[in-house]
Amino acid sequence: MRFFAFAFLSACSLAGQVPTLDQSLNAKSPGTAVIAPDGNFVAYTAQQPNWESNSFESQIWVAIPSSGESYALTAGKKGSSDPQWSPDSKQLAFLSARDGKPQIYLISPRGGEAKQLTAGDYGIQAFRWSPDGKVIAFTATPPEPKGKKDRKESLGEFEIVNNDYQMVHLFTVKVPLDVPADTKALPKAMQITDGDKFSVTTFRWSPDSSQIAFAAPKDPDLSSGLSSELYVVRLADKFLRKVTNGGGPHTNPVWSPDGEKLAFVSANGRPYSFYQNENITVMPAAGGKTTVLAQNFDENPQLLEWNTAGIWFGAAQKTSRGLFRLDPAADRWVPVTIPGGLGAAGVSFTADHKTMAFLGGAANQFAEFYVTPVENPAPKKLSDFSSQWKEFKLATREVISWKSKDGTTIEGILIKPADYKQGKKYPLLVVIHGGPTGVDTPALAGDRYYPVEQFAAKGAVILKPNYRGSAGYGEKFRALNVRNLGLGDYEDVISGVDALIAQGIADPDKLASMGWSQGGYISAFLTTYTTRFKAISVGAGISDWMTYYVNTDIHPFTRQYLHATPWEDPEIYKKTSPITYINNAKTPTLIQHGELDKRVPIPNGYELYQGLKDRNVPAKMIVYKGFGHGITKPKEQKAVLLHNYEWFSKWIWGEEPQN
């Protein structure tokens, strides 16, 4: 228990100034919000840990924009998520696994008992109301087929790689006027698609509720995402037609208001969609010629809705989130400016398209849910997550920029202690985001993997670099790490470090780095490529691109970023792999990895660990049992925080853990 005792004592010494690790983990965090079609309510989710069940659970809240009142709508075990309004605004549907696998429940926005609408062996993944309110469509994996059950019974458990898929398919269920309390009397769901030719991802109803358009790759393997095509199914007779044929991937279809066309996001045959821009594309709903729109928009669009005002989409814009409206007839897009620098994520509209709800957060503010008129936005705050943090003295965030070695401008977030003093040199801890197309912003949020607030309170400045490849800075910037992984990233990080040293902010003798996933990879690169850092933490990081390539569940990643397989160009795999430079390593390194990680499989962690041990470099590897790429339960997240707190307290501040 020494880790916990050490952190507890440290946290107590900081009480009243910064949140303890428990307080940070316990804070409610915003999820998603959706405004009722009539605009009278906004439903949103708030997530909080349940320590007894060791899970993060969300519950649904309802806000009344006219009065500012808000109240919890759901409670109880397993949590509730994905709230969606009936078209008449009288009912709210949501997902909950309170009685086993995720099922759909219905509840009045005024409260009362929720009624279960679906039951079965499938676990529902996503759902949508039909525009007429009579039916709900959902995606789920059908029950295991008899043949596979028989095989398991006679031959035991095994998996044939790239063969034993369980496809995701579309189902519909009628919504009765009065849902029976007896689950055995519930309306039976009808399977709309079947077979082993595709696996459904995103879908939308046609405006007249007669058809559903959906995207589907050839199977649910993440590596197959590039094969995604669009289909339209007619509900009356389940007639299915494929409306695209290659040149994709094609994803996220939305219908035009008249039901005659589909808009969707497509790579339009561009070969490197992992970092090249995709475009909004329009075609007849029955299939036919496609038209690419907004080709001068230099980021990846996220389609939201097509209504009478135009096609709405969101996109990363440097350290914020932008909202845009596209006139498809004129092929002209305009940004929607939200006052206060809030940005806008998770936007939803009322039926008349005059009001919208969204999640917004500005610099040094916590994200909150807002409602605003679409024209001349004037956001009104609906939630109050920031009240949880009023008693604490938090670090401040600001956006800074510097020039990398090749002259590229790099932005990052500089976090300073609340009592920061100009002219004083501080230990500098670099926290590197994943992706690589992630992005760090100056908004406030509770700490999860890395205890940033506690590091700042101990007297450190923290740099979060938006290195080349990060989203929000355009396609050219995202492509700067192509065949340059690790090397270009290193220059972006080290030039930021040098800029802060030159300004007299950072102490060159007290540098550290940490990150998860791609951030773990860059930290591993720093471990083996330079000796300037005093301590490093590698979370689920790649150490060897060859090891990664043959083990990962997303093989196209390296083929796109390195433009080759390891068999075609072993030198580029070697050049960009941290393990290549292991003989240079001297930096004490903590390695954290999920036992069952498929995205960055754990052999990467063991390879780096053994290489460091063979070089007599201080190293510690911690494996989080039962977890994949992310550490998703509160107790283990606390452990990740504690392990990082201990590691950097030892190597940067010289503090030994207390038993």
CATH code of the domain containing 457: 3.40.50.1820
* pLDDT tens per residue across span 205-219: 999 999 999 999 999
Contact (CB, 8 A) for 471 and 437: yes
Same structural domain, 280 and 398: no
Same structural domain, 323 and 411: no
Q: Supply 155's token pair.
A: 């031959």
| Res 11 pLDDT > 50 | no
Contact (CB, 8 A) for 325 and 310: yes
For residue 25, tell me if it sits in a domain: no
| Res 384 pLDDT > 50 | yes
- Rounded to an integer, the average pLDDT of 633-639 is 97
Same structural domain, 203 and 296: yes
* pLDDT tens per residue across span 495-533: 999 999 999 999 999 999 999 999 999 999 999 999 999
For residue 562, tell me if it sits in a domain: yes
Same structural domain, 410 and 285: no
- Concatenate the DSSP letters of all residues of 147-209 into one string: HHHHHHHHH-S---TTT-----EEEEEE--SS--SSGGGSPPPEE---SSS-----EEE-TTS
3-state helix, strand, coil in the chain (%, to 5): 20, 30, 45
- Rounded to an integer, the average pLDDT of 89-108 is 93
- Name the residue among 136, 120, 42 with its Cα closest to residue 86: 136
Where a domain ends, among 315, 336, 357? 336
Same structural domain, 469 and 612: yes
Where a domain ends, among 336, 355, 384? 336
| pTM of the predicted protein model | 0.94
So what's the pLDDT on residue 659? 55
For residue 481, tell me if it sits in a domain: yes
Same structural domain, 465 and 324: no
So what's the pLDDT on residue 159? 83
For residue 86, tell me if it sits in a domain: no
Same structural domain, 282 and 411: no
For residue 22, tell me if it sits in a domain: no
Same structural domain, 458 and 330: no
Instruction: Region of 479 please: left (phi>0), alpha (psi -120 to 50) or beta.
Output: alpha
Same structural domain, 569 and 647: yes
Distance CA 541, CA 421 (A): 35
Same structural domain, 496 and 635: yes
| Res 12 pLDDT > 60 | no
Distance CA 89, CA 100 (A): 28
Distance CA 240, CA 230 (A): 11
| Res 9 pLDDT > 90 | no
Same structural domain, 417 and 307: no
For residue 14, tell me if it sits in a domain: no
For residue 102, tell me if it sits in a domain: no
Q: Supply 425's token pair.
A: 């040199």
Domain count along the chain: 2
Look up the CATH number of the domain holding residue 290. 2.120.10.30
So what's the pLDDT on residue 152? 83
Distance CA 93, CA 247 (A): 36
For residue 330, tell me if it sits in a domain: yes
Q: What is the gyration radius of the CA atoms in the chain, in angstroms?
A: 25
Where a domain ends, among 289, 308, 336? 336
Same structural domain, 181 and 274: yes
Distance CA 253, CA 132 (A): 19
Supply the range of the domain harboring residue 480.
Answer: 392-651
